[in-house]
Structure 1
Amino acid sequence: MTEQDTAPSAAAADPALRDRLVDSIRELLPHVLKREVAEVTADTELMDALGLSSTTGLELVLELEERLELEISVEELGRDDFGTVGSLADYVAGNLLTEA
């Protein structure tokens, strides 16, 4: 595998964008989960701690796209990317689609 084959790292992503994504995910979680969630941080586990399912995970990504007016490539999106709020923000920051 060459360097060109690897996905963009979280370090390469804009830190301000990542922070904005974390904040937006935190704000969207109560709407997507249809319940209050307390004390969500970048380290909060989405599936284990909050009970996010594959269906609600997809809804979260779609809501994030709509809220931030971004298009996110979901081709490589996997279960590991939904590990924590921060890991999802890292994935999104590194997989934004731009208009050609």
Structure 2
Amino acid sequence: MASSDQLTAAICELLPVVLKREVSGADAGTELLDALGLNSTTGLELVLELEERLGLEISVEDLGRDDFATVGSLAAYVADHLLADA
């Protein structure tokens, strides 16, 4: 099971890949939508990349805008919504 810190680190590492630009200094408090301009397409891509990177399956059915507020909120969502067979 991935910890929230591991998820935060993985999300920060994947941001430049998904956004296709340099992202420096990202941490749990980094705002994904407002500061980085993440949208629904790049948000979903980020979750898919995270699944692949960590070998996890994440339930995205209830994933909402609030879950993408910050890197930390997305990490918390992922930690809480990992599918049992992962």
TM-score (norm 1): 0.82
TM-score (norm 2): 0.95
For residues 20-73 of structure 1, what are the alpha-carbon distances to aligned partners after superposition, in whole Å with 9 as ceiling and x for unaligned? 000000000000000001110100000100010100000000000000000000
Show structure 2 runs of 5+ residues with no match: none
Poorly superposed stretches of 4+, deviation over 4 Å: none
For the pair 1:62 / 2:62, whether they are aligned, the reply is: no
Q: Which residue of 1 aligns with 2:73?
A: 87
For the pair 1:53 / 2:53, whether they are aligned, the reply is: no
The alignment yields a C-alpha RMSD, in angstroms, of: 1.5
Deviation at 1:99, TM superposition (A): 2.0
Give the number of aligned pairs. 86
For the pair 1:40 / 2:21, whether they are aligned, the reply is: no
Q: Give me the identity figure in percent.
A: 72
Q: Which residue of 1 aligns with 2:10?
A: 24
CA distance in 1, matches of 2:85, 2:55: 12
Bigger Rg over Cα: 1
Q: Which amino acid aligns with 2:31?
A: E
